[in-house]
Amino acid sequence: MAVGLSEPANPAPVGGIRLAACSAGIYRKQRLDMVLFEMSRDSGCAAVFTQNAFCAAPVQIARRHLAVIPHPRYLLINAGNANAGTGERGLFDARRTCEYLAEKGGCRPEEVLPFSTGVIGEYLPVDRLCQGVDAMLGRLDEHNWRDCSRAIMTTDTVAKSVSKQVVLDGRQVTLTGIAKGSGMIKPDMATMLAFIATDAQLDHGLMQSMLQQSVNRSFNRITVDGDTSTNDACVLVATGKSGVVIQAGNQERYSLFNAALHEICLDLAQAIIRDGEGASKYLSITVSGGRNSLDCLRTAYAIAESPLVKTACHASDPNWGRILAAVGRAGILDLEIGRVSIQVNDVCIVAKGMRTPEYTEDQGKRAMLQDEIFVTVDLGMGDAEETVWTCDLSAEYIRINAEYRT
């Protein structure tokens, strides 16, 4: 079960966005597995994609199409099949689905961005996707966000969506986002997809910059298992229907919108961690006192991706030596262990590089029994600070991934 996470209320509609979901029969059991976004003409779009060298066919096609036309009309998404590791046929199949939707929707193929998630190495069932396109074109509605958040799920147990509304110069601007992700999560942009829409107006360059900054401080700070997927993508669409223009020159308007965008990304990223495969604990790892951001991130990821730390958290075992060892092997140049301190929730365990005299096993057990565990490490070397979010490692994670294709 997801840690402190339940399916949210209906997300707020975004002017200029209509969407639909359907069951195209990609899964063995009938369930929603396809999504179609229709954007009003001249909507802007920015995207951040996986850094995996084996990026999936839809990632390659979406990148190419967005480079040609940064104002797409449609996003076409399927779950259950990643269309990755499928060579030239995979590219051909992704193009075919774009061409089919373009013909039906009255636009150019380059105005369609495809996205897929699911099993790697299997060919896309193109005929089923085309049938799904026919079904969804007749169902497009601005209120279908909840169904769409469910349709993109794979091993997720809870649909993930969030809406924010901010008043800028007396006019309301809406941002709504959905995401999926539960395992194979370390984005580096995991199997994760995120789609965010707003009725503000932004030029492409500013959109891309703002999205990249928000992704770097949210989706690029989470890890379930240290695996970066072939299919990751985070997309931001701006329709401009609110009439509010976001420009870097208008600092107040820019700052308020940027903060709302970051909150959307962070909420969705943390929801992915709370719904990590087999997760029973939510872990926040903050490392301060680094000479630079890299020192802090290396240390935080060494802790967050340690199987020994993650299994200890799952068992509520206050085996803090595993955290200490992870800090020591993070590769921090000239680390002075006599300056290092470690705290778990409100319990100070290590100070000046050694166990504090006041620490007791009962205190450690009490801290580790919590569903939400906050680990704080101070390296004592500088002013940099970074936070990474992760979850525990359970037998259920192993079962899910051992049986994923069966």
Q: Which residues are catalytic?
A: 191
**Burial tier of 228 (Cβ tally within 10 Å: 0-12, 13-18, 19+):** buried
Residues whose CB is less than 8 angstroms from the CB of residue 213 and which lie 6 or more positions away in sequence, other chains included = 258, 262
Other CB atoms within a 10 A radius of the CB of residue 331 amount to: 11
Residues whose CB is less than 8 angstroms from the CB of residue 208 and which lie 6 or more positions away in sequence, other chains included = 46
Report the C-alpha dihedral over residues 235, 109, 151, 263, rounded to 10 degrees: 10
Rounded Cα–Cα distance for residues 330 and 153 (Å): 34
Rounded Cα–Cα distance for residues 28 and 406 (Å): 11
How far is residue 127 CA from its own chain's centroid?
29
Rounded Cα–Cα distance for residues 187 and 385 (Å): 20
Category of 357 on φ-ψ map: left (φ > 0), alpha (ψ -120 to 50) or beta: alpha
Q: Give the CB-side neighbour count of residue 377, counting CA atoms within 13 A.
A: 34
